[in-house]
Amino acid sequence: MTEENKPDTQTAADAGGYGEGAIQILEGLEAVRKRPGMYIGDTSDGTGLHHLVFEVVDNSIDEALAGYCDDILVTIHADGSLSVIDNGRGIPTRVKMDDKHEPKRSAAEIALTELHAGGKFNQNSYKVSGGLHGVGVSCVNALSIWLKLTVSRDGVRHEIDFSRGFVQNRLIEVVDGTEVSPMRVVGASDKRGTKVHFLPDQEIFKENFEFRYEILAKRLRELSFLNNGVRIRLKDERDGKEDDFSGAGGVKGFVEFINGTKKVLHPTTFYAEGTRPAETYGGIPGTEIGVEVAMQWNDSYAEQVLCFTNNIPQRDGGTHLTGLRAAMTRVIGKYIADNELAKKAKVEVTGDDMREGLCCVLSVKVPEPKFSSQTKDKLVSSEVRAPVEDIVGKLLAEFLEEKPNDAKILCNKIVEAARAREAARKAREMTRRKGVLDGMGLPGKLADCQEKDPALCEIYIVEGDSAGGSAKQGRDRKFQAILPLRGKILNVEKARYEKLLSSQEIITLITALGTGIGKVSEDSGKSSSDDYNPDKLRYHRIIIMTDADVDGAHIRTLLLTFFYRQMPDLVERGHIYIAQPPLYKVKNGKEELYLKDGPALNKYLLKIALNHASVNTGGDNPRTVEGEELAKLADMHLAAETVIERLSNFMDAEALRAIADGVQIKLDTIEEAQECAPILEAKLRELTTTGVPADVTAEIDPNSEHPILRISRHHHGNIKSSILTQEFVRSHDYAALSDEAQNFVGLLSEGAKVTRGEGEKAKTEKVGDFRQAMAWLISEAERTTGRQRYKGLGEMNPEQLWETTMDPNVRSLLQVKIGDAIEADRVFTMLMGDEVEPRRNFIEDNALRAGNIDV
């Protein structure tokens, strides 16, 4: 053997620690806990946390798809845990005798402790299923501090407990000489179904470990629409909130829900439903492909089509969407041609014209669907296209014939869209001839950067020439560009292409970004002007930087509307950011600091106030509260004061303070409410600073039918009233006030005093309670702290703007993301569209909750 071919005898230590000892085998669910992001997504932003819930709910939905479940209850419990209960068949509970594990385990335990274990890998138990990977509920088990599984099946209720994926208090029995580990039998049951109750592990979900009601409600509402006839309920024991999504109306109701804030063009929603044998189209023999679709057009210019396969959303469409579009183009095109509508208008109608203003939900049920990737964003099962095209084509043709008024309105909309597209093309050619958008020159307002790599470049869109001047002087010219815009740009929510090109500020913005503009056609893959290309973006960070007033907020909203409606690719790719300029500059001694907002200012003042501060409790056994103990109490006090300040817009401030002073409110029954009323009223008379007495009465709320306390004040012949509800008593806000009461009531006695400072400079003040002590400390901190409030960016000099808002090392930016496309569309339509009624209702419902109103 030559020297070159000798075997490598280098040790693992010599190779940087990479030898046979570095190879690990992760057993069971250990891999899930080691790399949770591979299984459930991001564990830091809340995505993975809520994915746990959806994995459990999807199992219940699969039971519903199989025809065995019609009731699902999801409950967020007060301790932060969550449970999902369904009335399906129940996970099998018997011991699986062919289990290779010793002792042999129940089928339920295997399903919850083994990856890729379940009943969805063949066509026997589930013909159609959304869960294909078999890692769902086992991941939930692995990532929970504890999980309790309760199964009611065959007249018996079984339970089994887990902790971080491991069985707790395991039962072991011997049957025919074989050790088995059955589930625990806890009694008889005349019901059937499964209950999964779990508490997520805070070691895994360190930053976001609290369930958000609105995220769960959004998905459960969606599932209710897609599975008509299944009752899905969501309850939150933390604040008493509850929703029942039964009777949502299927996909037809889904379309009407999305169109709720829009002006629909025709009263009748098109609905089609049908099944076809899968084998006919090359699918699995003995199975069926189910199709359900609803369509309704509105007066907007955007197309909104939501596609689902077995309840799984496909943001990129797929073969089911291709079949839908083919049917629409063929049937509607034939109707328009037969009635010579396009010929009379002297325009040529395209598929894009037919889909302008379309709101559609398409749901298919497919056995063993195929997707383009693990994310399931695109369906590629070839056997799906033909059934969708067949069912939609046949029923859409009948709809147009049987509903002539709807058909006339729809066709007029399509022809008008074709006219507008042609007008936009001519406007595009005109502006190109004038050299407005040909890219030959950048806008004169733009102060460009030196860097040519878009990935390293950023552009600040600033409000007005004043702020633009400071930003241009303060920026880093190497990679930061500045574009000042004058005034408020056009509201593009209801503007067509030719209207955009008449706005000089929008032309300036489009030219600076370099992408061009124009809607991308689904038919050709190009924009109508053959010019829009998001890949040509000149800056990969587009930063909106406006003043901290109502005008600045309005300009920011108009710009976000522009990007969301006209350049959604830039939002989806994460290119849009919002700058967070500071609202305050504070100076204490030689220290200067910029603070983002009011809460940050309060925290800073509290920090200064507690410097060399102590509180003497007074009384017979006085003690000194200082250091970490005082800081903890002060933080608790600040949290309670923040709650009072926020809620006092629509609740009685002195009633909130009474709760913080120890008054307990119980509203489970009307009798409890009647007991609390005189206690609260007496406390309010003691606390009143306005001289206006309050009357407190116990009532039954006619809407919720739950007990409430009504607080009424008579002043100059007017009555101002507010209420305390069960939801409030169960909320985090009430808990914050109650915590303050538990920690502060009785803390200070007669002779209590607060001291701040050292030696001869120390100052002392007598106080009656902890609130007075904190008020005095804060006032002392304010006395020694200089404060400047910035209303506009133009008030900052270039150095300050760089230090606070533009320096990548210290600045704070908000990245704009679309977490819920349906909700984003609804909000933009409501706030920026033509329909006044939804906007007025929104303002009336939320007016009292608004803060920092500049009037």
Domain containing residue 512: CATH number = 3.40.50.670
**Which among 201, 406, 547, 661 is annotated as catalytic?**
547
Q: Determine whether 569 is an active site residue.
A: no
Q: Please answer whether residues 729 and 667 qualify as being in contact, where contact means their C-beta atoms are separated by less than 8 angstroms.
A: yes
The band of 477, judged by pLDDT with boundaries at 50, 70 and 90, is very high
Identify whether 762 is part of a domain: yes
* pLDDT over 80 (residue 124): no
> What integer is the mean pLDDT of 819-846?
79
- Confidence grade of residue 296 (pLDDT, cut at 50, 70, 90): very high
Instruction: Please confirm, yes or no, whether 236 is among the known catalytic residues.
Output: no
Look at 340 and 455; give whichever has higher pLDDT: 455
- 505: enclosing H helix or E strand: helix 504-513
Residue 852 resides in a domain = no
Which residue out of 236, 463, 681, 740 is catalytically annotated? 463
| pLDDT tens-digit map of 422-452 | 887 777 676 665 555 554 467 778 899 999 9
Residue 365: predicted pLDDT? 92
Whether 360 and 465 share a structural domain = no
Helix-helix angle 404-433:319-338, to 10 degrees: 100
Name, in order, each residue with C-beta under 8 angstroms of 419's C-beta and a sequence gap of 6 or more. Answer: 345, 347
Q: Are residues 707 and 594 in the same domain?
A: yes
Q: Where are the alpha helices (DSSP H) in 227-292?
A: 250-258
For residues 768-785, average pLDDT: 88
752-to-211, 335, 677 alpha-carbon distances in Å? 42, 87, 32
Provide the residue count of the chain. Answer: 855
The count of domains in the chain is 4
- pLDDT for position 849: 60
Task: Show which of 527, 553, 581 is a domain's final residue.
Answer: 581
Per-residue pLDDT, averaged over 579-594, amounts to 87
pLDDT at 380: 93
Q: Is 486 left (phi over 0), alpha (psi -120 to 50) or beta?
A: beta
Residue 413 reports pLDDT greater than 80: yes
Catalytic residue chosen out of the listed positions 161, 256, 299, 549: 549
CA distance 683 to 697: 14
* Residues 598, 669 within the same domain: yes
Examine the residue annotation and report whether 463 is marked as an active-site residue of this protein. yes
Domain assignment present for residue 682? The answer is yes
- Preceding peptide of 103 cis, ω within 30°: yes
Q: What is the pLDDT of residue 498?
A: 73
Per the model's pLDDT, the better-predicted residue between 711 and 115 turns out to be 711
> Quick check: 269 pLDDT over 90?
yes
- Cβ burial 652-690 (10 Å sphere, 16+ → b, else e): bebbbbbbbbebebebeeeeebeebbeebbebbeeeeee
Task: Tell me: pLDDT of 689 over 80.
Answer: no
Find, among 295, 304, 333, 309, the residue nearest to 383 by Cα.
Answer: 309
The per-residue pLDDT of the chain, averaged, comes to 84
**DSSP-assigned states of every residue in 350-367:** -HHHHTTTEEEEEEEE-S
Q: Which of 125-134, 218-227, 707-716, 763-772 is the most confident on average?
A: 218-227
Beta strands in 315-433 (DSSP E): 358-365
Residue 526 lies in a domain: yes
Percent of the chain's residues with pLDDT above 70: 89
pLDDT of residue 115: 75
Same domain, 565 and 604: no
Same domain, 167 and 268: no
The neighbouring-strand residues paired with 708 are: 699
Instruction: pLDDT band for 178, please (50, 70, 90 cuts).
Output: confident
Nearest to 206 by CA among 430, 36, 382: 36
pLDDT tens digit sequence for 612-660: 899 988 888 888 888 888 988 888 888 888 888 888 877 888 899 899 8
**Whether residue 169 sits in one domain with residue 50:** yes
Q: Mean pLDDT highest for which of 57-61, 344-348, 468-472, 518-522?
A: 57-61
Whether 361 maps to a domain, the answer reads: yes
Question: Is residue 848 in a domain?
Answer: no
Same domain as 274, residue 387: yes
Summarised one tens digit per residue, pLDDT across range 374-383 is 678 899 999 9
Q: Does a structural domain hold residue 820?
A: no
User: Does some domain include residue 425?
Assistant: no
Q: Which of 244, 274, 298 is the last residue of a domain?
A: 244
**Residue 328 is part of which domain span?**
250-414
Q: What is the CATH number of the domain that holds 236?
A: 3.30.565.10
One domain for residues 681 and 727: yes
Q: Tell which of 789, 806, 823 closes a domain.
A: 806
Q: Are 594 and 786 in contact (CB under 8 A)?
A: no
| 551 carries an active-site annotation | yes
Q: What angle do CA 470, 471, 477 make, to 5 degrees?
A: 125
If asked whether residues 363 and 439 sit together in one domain, one would say no
Q: Which of 336-350, 511-525, 534-548, 804-818 is the least confident region?
A: 511-525
User: How high is the pLDDT of residue 348?
Assistant: 85
Among 551, 695, 765, 795, the active-site one is 551
Whether residue 621 is found in the same domain as residue 721:
yes
Residue 435 has a pLDDT of 54
Identify whether residues 683 and 778 lie together within a single domain. Answer: yes
Which of 741, 784, 753, 743 lies closest to 613, judged by CA? 753
Q: Which of the four pLDDT bands, split at 50, 70 and 90, describes residue 797?
A: confident
836 vs 136, residue with greater confidence: 836
pLDDT greater at residue 7 or residue 637: 637
How open is the CA angle 189-195-196, to the nearest 5 degrees?
Answer: 150
Stretch among 108-122, 186-200, 328-342, 464-478 having the lowest mean pLDDT: 108-122
Phi, psi of 720, deg, nearest 5: -110, 125
What CATH number corresponds to the domain at position 380?
Answer: 3.30.230.10
H, E, C per residue of 558-601:
HHHHHHHHHCHHHHHCCCEEEECCCCEEEEECCEEEEECCHHHH
Binding residues: 463, 547, 549
Confidence class of residue 680 from pLDDT cuts 50, 70 and 90? very high
Binding site per annotation, positions for Mg(2+): 463, 547, 549
Q: What is the CATH number of the domain that holds 706?
A: 3.30.300.370
* Same domain as 393, residue 259: yes
